[in-house]
Amino acid sequence: MTATNKIESNTPDKLLNAKEIFGINSDIKIHGFSEPTEHVPEIDDSYIFDHDTTLAILAGFTHNRRVMIQGYHGTGKSTHIEQVAARLNWPCLRINLDSHISRIDLIGKDAITLKDGVQVTEFKEGILPWALQSSTALVFDEYDAGRPDVMFVIQRVLEVAGKLTLLDQNRVIKPHPAFRLFSTTNTIGLGDTTGLYHGTQQINQGQMDRWSIVATLNYLPHEQEESIIAAKMPLMKNTSDLKIIKQMVQVAELSRQGFINGDISTVMSPRTVLTWAENYAIFKDLAFSFRLSFLNKCDELERPIISEYYQRCFAEELLGTSVIQKTDI
């Protein structure tokens, strides 16, 4: 069996200061790239970095640690990794490990291609061998929902110097010096112990031990979330609009607490709050835009509870009559 590599030569060539780049209280120096490539995520200038999570991710990039970010739905785990990568100009790819992702999708498969007018069978590499041989930060989303055959493939590369063996190709692939590996999970490897995340699997202890850093990302403090929504809604700048944004975030916080307590099965993420604000800017009606953005996604039996959250924050009932009849679009 031969050890082969088609490794890119590019490696981080720039030293950056974490305090200047991410606004966190740390003097850590991190490596990055001078120029972005096509796989570098776009920078979101309004993004606010969580101190502890940012340090964990930076350790992953700078010291080649395997980093797992755990947290509730909608806390921005994957986005956090992407925004760190964006500021380091580090190529970053996300793979959602749902039940449809198989070993073949990761490793690759034989495919019939045309070469010099003749049909030949060639091995087409999957995303894992390609990323492993490049300066790419690979992020496995919903890691605890992955299939067992997929998890065993990933386990091979969890070691820092972990090589990927392609038995069908009689090849051993060494990782690129700038290859990085991250994952996000809703649980912490114990499976769905709360009933909130159906489809998640238990992760064996041997694999969990290979994740050298495990960080937890919770929802943002109220004031920070307000600031982010306001920054992304430039048309909502007057006092009454800012009050509405504050009340929207209050509704979201009630839904999150209800989700954690098991009262409801759907939660308002910061993304949902932003969608609500955007829809409000379109329809100019809070109740109607709330239905379109969140309420209609919820179980009918839970809608009275969610309507109560709305009433508590806006001091008005969420009536069942359709508002679209009195809304001109």
* pLDDT tens readout for residues 272-292: 999 999 999 999 999 999 999
- The band of 177, judged by pLDDT with boundaries at 50, 70 and 90, is very high
Tokens 């509730």 belong to which residue? Answer: 72
Residue 182 shares a structural domain with residue 62: yes
pLDDT, tens only, 150-171: 888 888 888 777 788 777 777 8
What pLDDT score was predicted for residue 201? 63
Domain tally, the chain: 2
Residue 69 shares a structural domain with residue 18: yes
**Is residue 295 scored above 70 in pLDDT?**
yes
- Rounded CA gap, 23 and 20, in Å? 6
Which of residues 183, 216, 249 is at a domain's end?
Answer: 216
Residue 269 shares a structural domain with residue 198: no
Per cent of the chain over pLDDT 70 is 88
Residue 184 shares a structural domain with residue 320: no
**Is residue 194 scored above 80 in pLDDT?**
no
CB atoms inside a 10 Å sphere around CB 8: 16
Nearest 5°: the CA angle 264, 270, 273 is: 80
What pLDDT score was predicted for residue 45? 85
**Interhelix angle 51-63/77-88, nearest 10 degrees:** 50
- The band of 322, judged by pLDDT with boundaries at 50, 70 and 90, is very low
Phi then psi for residue 176, to 5 deg, are: -65, 145
Which of residues 153, 188, 216 is at a domain's end?
Answer: 216
pTM: 0.81
**Is residue 7 scored above 70 in pLDDT?**
no
pLDDT, tens only, 19-61: 999 988 888 899 999 999 999 999 988 788 999 999 999 999 9
Residue 64 shares a structural domain with residue 152: yes
- Rounded CA gap, 142 and 157, in Å? 18
Range of the domain at 309: 222-326
Assigned token pair, 194? 């709360």
Q: For the chain, give the mean pLDDT.
A: 85
Per cent of the chain over pLDDT 90 is 50
Residue 84 shares a structural domain with residue 203: yes
Q: At 162, which amino acid appears?
A: G
Residue 107 shares a structural domain with residue 202: yes
CB 99 within 8 A of CB 199: yes
Burial environment of residue 302 by CB neighbours within 10 A (0 to 12, 13 to 18, 19 or more) = middle
CB atoms inside a 10 Å sphere around CB 154: 22
What pLDDT score was predicted for residue 123? 75
CB 204 within 8 A of CB 101: no
Residue 242 shares a structural domain with residue 197: no
pLDDT, tens only, 195-248: 455 455 667 777 788 899 999 998 888 998 998 899 888 888 889 999 999 999
Q: At 8, which amino acid appears?
A: E
What pLDDT score was predicted for residue 153? 83
Q: Which of 7-16, 81-90, 127-136, 196-205 has the lowest mean pLDDT?
A: 196-205
pLDDT, tens only, 127-145: 999 999 999 999 999 888 7
Residue 128 shares a structural domain with residue 270: no
Residue 144 shares a structural domain with residue 6: yes
Residue 226 shares a structural domain with residue 166: no
**Is residue 311 scored above 70 in pLDDT?**
yes
**CATH assignment at residue 160:** 3.40.50.300
Burial environment of residue 280 by CB neighbours within 10 A (0 to 12, 13 to 18, 19 or more) = buried
Which of residues 196, 216, 236 is at a domain's end?
Answer: 216
Q: At 228, which amino acid appears?
A: I
**Is residue 9 scored above 70 in pLDDT?**
no
What pLDDT score was predicted for residue 170? 75
Residue 202 shares a structural domain with residue 102: yes
